[in-house]
Structure 1
Amino acid sequence: MKRKLILSLIGMLAFTLSCNDNILDKSNPNEFTPESFYKNGDQIVGGVNAVYSSLQSLDLFCREYFFLHDMRGDDVASGGGQLETHRGQLLTGTHDASNGVLMQVWRGWYRLIHQANQVIDNAPKATENVTEELKLRVVGEAKFLRALAYFDLVTVWGGVPLMETYAKAIGEDKPRATADEVYNLIISDLQTAIANLPLKAEYNDSNVGRANKEAAQNLLARVYMQRGQYNLAEPLLAEIINGGAFNDWADVPYIENFREENEFNTESLFEVAFTEANGGSSWDATGQGTSTEVTFRGQEYGPNAWRNLIPSTSLMEEYEKVADGDPKDDPRYNDTFYFIGDEYSNGTKVLENWGWKKYQKIYKADNEDQRSGINMRVMRYAEVLLNMAEVQNALGNDGDAIDYLNEVRSREGVEMPPYPTANYPVNSPSEVFRAIIHERRVELAGEQIRNRDILRWRALGKLPSEPLSYYAEKHALAPIPQQEINSNAVLTQADQNPGW
């Protein structure tokens, strides 16, 4: 269900420095500070809603987030469109610390962290028309969102400056923390979120887009997997699977996870909501504007739009050919990509080019433009099962790992032959892991997960071969944006990641 998630609170939550001149040292009764705003239940909910709004920003899920992760993986190639230089550099590994995409995503996450910290610090102080249960939930939501931000930062950049409270004055710079210190905060935040967030099923329709317990559990499982702590990820994933909330997930046709009509469905754990109801193109880097809440994903990747990024050859070749006839008979092949001659616009038109099908609205529209209201799916249940398959393989339980893989392959509209197959025998742990790599790639293609998989498997020594032709040791971590080093008084060039 579409709904307006947020009110623009940046102006109300702004704070100003005091003037030394006493005659000017006056309080404006019409201007809120974080300390004066969070007084009642509506205000603390409004505060956390503003944090969700930052996810919609141009710096994050509206545009730059999917560019960053897709271009640092191997799911995409240049479509020969209008791919700007700074994007092309990420695609070929020729970027440096001045890269604009890196800077925008970094800035987007820290803006969100600042807002989340305001909620975490001030919501517990609310006393008017508020229950303790609501305060715990709101802080749990803010900690989930802060953990989501720091997890992205630490996987892309390693250790980063750690802001655990919101800045109250200019110049409250923080040094670079270690990756372990960042992970410790993420884990603590998610443990709090898990303890205090409702289950997905406990939210009513008007709150369906909020962070829930299962999403926090899956995010914490991602964290442990990224660190090679598979034994700690297992019980988190098991609780989601055994909880029963997603028993009907396989009834959702695969393609419906990427269309507008079936958002927040029974497979969904967490989505970033978008809608065309509030206006056109959103070039808002903050996400706090109230007039537009759209994503450019369709425009950027669309086969009859800008077509800046197209599916890579290696991704296309990953899909299975099980029988004679069509080149690929995994149904996800045709649900993930459009091809020349495919019908679109409710079957009234025929495509003259090929490209991505996920997140494209031309199944019902004449063209892609800068107004797409299709939600970005951040977590869905198929990933939970694939996470558990990797966990079981790592723990030596290959029979269970295969069962989880086959559950993904048996969903409605996919119904692929179960493992083992001729292409993927599973007679050894390494063969099972090869099947896991394959299944994650074809199931989650274009969902900004492949980059994190490559980073994890490379760091843990599990990557069978290097998928990026340009890869050098320095590419293990992205360069800290030079603008951050220049503006942060306690960072120096010595804090830059190796090789940059």
Structure 2
Amino acid sequence: MKKYIKNIEKVKYFFCAILLTLTFSCDDDLDPKNFGQPVVEDFYKTPEQAEQALVSAYSSMRELYGSNFWGTMGTDIIFGEIGTDDFIKGGRTATNNAPLLEKERYAFTTSNPIFEELWSVNYEGILFANLVLANVPNIEFDDDDDRQQEILAEASFLRALYYFDLVNSFGGVPLVERPLEISEFNQPRASKEDVYQLIERDLQFAIDNLPSRFNKDSDYLGRADKGAALGLMMRVLLYQNKNDQIRSFGDQLFALNYSLTSDYSTIFQPEGEWNSGSIFEINFVTDANVLGTGIPRRVNPNNNTGGGFVQAKEDLRNEYEANDPRLDATLFFSDRPYGTDWYVRKYAWEPFTNYPKPDIGGNSNSSNNVRLIRLSDVYLMYAEAVYDSDPATAIDYVNRVRRRARGTQPATVLPDLDPTLVGQPLLDAIYHERRVELAGEGFRFHDLVRTGRASTLLAPLGFIEGTHEVVPLPVQQVTLSKGVLIQNPNY
């Protein structure tokens, strides 16, 4: 809990400074005589301050996918894809970037800096969300203003998102549901099931209290809304194999105004940001270090000022059916001295996409929005949930995804599924569709683990069932806990 401890002190004594880094100013709200003294007691007084505090809760998400080097390396889009049957580590040499090499070889060390940052940044976000949830209810809003509940619902969504990343990375982790006193900092691990229960409660509260982005102005884009909460709830349930509960949340989401954008190749282009099938994205508005994402500079080829990481295997390329337009929209070839030379187009910049190559900011962070939840993913989660009880509906939703991918090409390209498919053949067709539709977006490893296929497909790569479903807890956190945090088995 080191980062949690550090940041609760940061918030207590330097809350105004944190907000300043997020382009807000609270100078007019603070008495200068309080400089250098605790200021939380002087904050959370107005609706404007509630909004500012909420922005701080979003900032950890931006940090994880943007400005934090090892945190960005640890995202599912990079770390999660490496070591699967889809992607190798890549980079400049076989041994380039040892922390990522640990995933490719399933030879994890407890001192891997990726694990420390995943732990720290997510708990930082949880702290900021908890501060909102603990203090905003005490702020007086106008009687006819729904914004107070919306702020609490957004904070609940964010806390659920951060805990979902933690539980999928480490298994059971300490549950911190409120700002802690110093005497409470050292918390034991909760069970994986208890963490998921909190995530589900937070998401249900968000679903009940968030508006749809379709009922808001365009400046609302980037905030969690009802659709984002419903989509994340479906993913949370899918990862627990609670398929019988997914349908009701999917039905609620389908009642909103989402539709598959017609051209798959535009989804990960600038014009595809917040398209009709986009459910939740992380907004990045510039290539400056703080406001841009670090994903593209890690996955672009070395000769295009990138790190060259996450290169596609032949097995993934062969998974695509003949003439599937998604292959070219997902991957591209660039001849380099090391690797497979097949790179992820979805988070590339020019000349491989229409996103401009960064030219400011030093670290070359980019303006690409990160797509976290898409409608086609939701369709396929829904199909997987009902394939056994309602195969006709499952086939319908898979065919929607295939028809959009086919576009204007003849029906012989990505033809509709056989309407008589049932049982395992239908499930295999859904697995296939997830693999090619969502390649490079960070789902493959978790899909293999949750469906029990990792022990077979990843064993030749070093994956050991019962160990490598999660990574070890950071050694610093275990040491600081003085025995309270128990390391994952076999690490």
TM-score range, shorter chain: 0.7 to 0.9
> In structure 2, which of residues 423, 434, 445 is the aligned counterpart of residue 429 of structure 1?
423
Q: Could you tell me which residue of structure 1 aligns to residue 315 of structure 2?
A: 314
Please tell me whether the aligned partners of residues 455 and 463 of structure 2 are also in contact (alpha carbons under 8 angstroms): no
Q: Could you tell me which residue of structure 1 aligns to residue 331 of structure 2?
A: 337
Q: Which amino acid aligns with 1:77?
A: I
Q: Could you tell me which residue of structure 2 aligns to residue 70 of structure 1?
A: 81
Residues 133-174 of structure 1 show CA distances to partners (whole Å, capped at 9, x for unaligned) of 211100100110100111121122211111111234376121
TM-score (norm 2): 0.83
Query: Is there any run of 5+ residues in structure 1 with no aligned partner, and where?
Result: 1-8, 17-25, 283-291, 322-328, 342-351
Identity %: 29
Residues 435-485 of structure 1 show CA distances to partners (whole Å, capped at 9, x for unaligned) of 111100110111112222122112xxx669423521112112211111111
* 1:498 partner SS: coil
> In structure 1, which of residues 104, 108, 114 is the aligned counterpart of residue 121 of structure 2?
108
Please tell me whether the aligned partners of residues 190 and 220 of structure 1 are also in contact (alpha carbons under 8 angstroms): yes
> How far 1:426 sits from its partner (Å)?
6.4
Please tell me whether the aligned partners of residues 61 and 295 of structure 1 are also in contact (alpha carbons under 8 angstroms): no
State how 1:97-496 maps to structure 2 within 5 Å: 97-127=110-140, 133-169=146-182, 172-241=185-254, 243-247=255-259, 249-251=260-262, 253-276=263-286, 280=288, 282=289, 292-303=290-301, 304=304, 305-321=306-322, 329-340=323-334, 354-362=342-350, 363-364=353-354, 367=357, 370-393=364-387, 395-411=388-404, 414=407, 416-420=413-417, 427-458=421-452, 465-469=456-460, 470-473=462-465, 474-489=467-482, 491-492=484-485, 495-496=486-487
Q: Could you tell me which residue of structure 1 aligns to residue 3 of structure 2?
A: none
> How far 1:74 sits from its partner (Å)?
3.5
Q: Could you tell me which residue of structure 1 aligns to residue 28 of structure 2?
A: none
> How far 1:340 sits from its partner (Å)?
4.5
Which shifted more, 403-412 or 256-265? 256-265
Residues 60-89 of structure 1 show CA distances to partners (whole Å, capped at 9, x for unaligned) of 875431333222543321324163111111
Q: Which amino acid aligns with 2:471?
A: A
Q: Could you tell me which residue of structure 1 aligns to residue 34 of structure 2?
A: 29
> How far 1:339 sits from its partner (Å)?
2.4
Please tell me whether the aligned partners of residues 118 and 166 of structure 1 are also in contact (alpha carbons under 8 angstroms): yes
Count of residue pairs the alignment pairs up: 442
CA, structure 1 residues 220+35, in 2 after alignment: closer, same or farther (shift >3 Å)?
A: farther
Query: Quick one: distance in 2 between partners of 1:192 and 1:67?
Result: 31
Q: Which amino acid aligns with 1:443?
A: E
> How far 1:46 sits from its partner (Å)?
1.0
Residues 76-133 of structure 1 show CA distances to partners (whole Å, capped at 9, x for unaligned) of 2132416311111112101122111122111111111111100111111112668652
> How far 1:309 sits from its partner (Å)?
2.2
Q: Could you tell me which residue of structure 2 aligns to residue 44 of structure 1?
A: 50
* 1:271 partner SS: strand
Query: Quick one: distance in 1 between partners of 2:328 and 2:72?
Result: 25
* 2:484 partner SS: coil
CA, structure 1 residues 489+163, in 2 after alignment: closer, same or farther (shift >3 Å)?
A: farther
* 1:258 partner SS: coil
* 1:77 partner SS: strand
CA, structure 1 residues 73+136, in 2 after alignment: closer, same or farther (shift >3 Å)?
A: farther
Query: Quick one: distance in 2 between partners of 1:122 and 1:453?
Result: 38
Q: Quote the RMSD (CA, aligned, Å).
A: 2.8
